[in-house]
Structure 1
Amino acid sequence: MARLPRLYAPQIPQLVQARFARALDATTQGASPTAAMDRLCTWLGDSAREHHVEVHGWSLVHDRLTLLATPPGPQALPKLVQALGRRYAAQQRQGRVFAERYRSALVEPGRWVLPALIWLESLPAQLSYVDRPEHWPWSSAAGHTGAAATAADWMVDHPDYWKDGNTPFDRQARYRERLHAGLPDSQRQQIERALFGQWALGEAVFLQQLESQASRRPRPAPRGRPRKPAAPHSG
């Protein structure tokens, strides 16, 4: 089965996940997993700046990198991931960095950006690395909730996050409540289906608009054979 081309639409954020071929806690270069994670975070910021990608949220755990970002063009995100992989490969010298081609989904602004952020920032807690997402040092959760004094200087908060409160304190408090409440199973499953199927995440009107804007079909084709047109009546 041929792999799908990358799905892209101008000014639409993308949820991206890249899995590592070898978990970061299995490093044998003498560096601790903490040092490897710190280096990858630095390289992520460098690559985002280099390719002018607006990163709105991110989470790095031992086996995967997940981020929500708006690229300036169709090649910017692939180049970011490639640059990150090259930097890491030069250090580890143990073959491929990523286990597979990264997966991505377009995300509807105004409806799905905050749920996508909550989903990705919740991963460290869901994987039992920490009890609260904001306690994980290798993600944007601490900056969004106010648990850290400042966020990474290469991050660009999405307008949906800014609209969630009139002041930084209000935004952080509201987002902290959302993050601790978590997502309904239906939302979580919808996000995961879009990401792992590499489709768009959004409501019907958004998906219809993408049909004429996106680089390829943004949602799966209906199952079954297309209906045959009705035969003309003779008379």
Structure 2
Amino acid sequence: MLRAFTITIALAAYVSAQSVSATCKQTLSSVALNADAAACLNPLALLPIVTGNASTPIVPTVENWLNGFCSAPACSNETIAQIVTNVTTGCAGDLSSTGLDASSAGGVTTLIQQYFPTARKVLCLKEGNTNCVVQTLNNIETSISGTLTLQNVVSLLTNPGAILTPNITCTACLKAAYSVIVEDVPSVAESFGPTVQSQCNANFTDGTTPSTISQSAVNKTATAGSSNANNNSAVVSGVGYVLTAFVAGLTGFTLLA
């Protein structure tokens, strides 16, 4: 979960830094103006990360985004399919380095539709009043004695051993995340269970959720066509960039969870 989430943030930084083709810009504008996508992903809240510089702190923005994302209805399969198809078709050239293109849209759509509910549950776990992703990011900041920014998040991807320590990975939050994955996709959990046990303990992988953990994701799915579009042209491109990164990041979750 942790590795997949940092990849999502890194992709947001990558996408925002690129020179986007005219065709892709038009596609992103279309996607950004899709009210259904905006309503279930809350992408506008991530704009400070996408439009920021290398020293932009990420934790406050992530916390704000997750608060809105978890309180919004989940994306419907129809909305997910529309996002993936539009982005991979209209931005095929721009996304070629990520391995996403129009020919992979069907497979990517199926994967995201399958794993999106699990990813959403993991992202919306809370301990007390604190979102578990935010808590984990705060723990990483304590570990590195500094503020997480776009720049050092990308650098941490090249040296994950610096943050994959027991005080970060063996928390009640990540035990709960593992339990969610065990319940929803046991085959995936089994693949990294031995590694988790060796770093934490056997009880960590027993499939139970600590009593301090709760689920904040709204148990509701958005109905396609039920939202009002946001036609603010000043934010269209930024929202589109976030959606592009989110599609790639969710794909990363399915491969790395």
Question: What TM-score do the two structures reach when normalised by structure 2?
Answer: 0.31
Q: Which has the higher contact order (CA 8 A, sep 6+)?
A: 2
Higher helix share: 2
Structure with bigger gyration radius: 1
Question: What TM-score do the two structures reach when normalised by structure 1?
Answer: 0.33
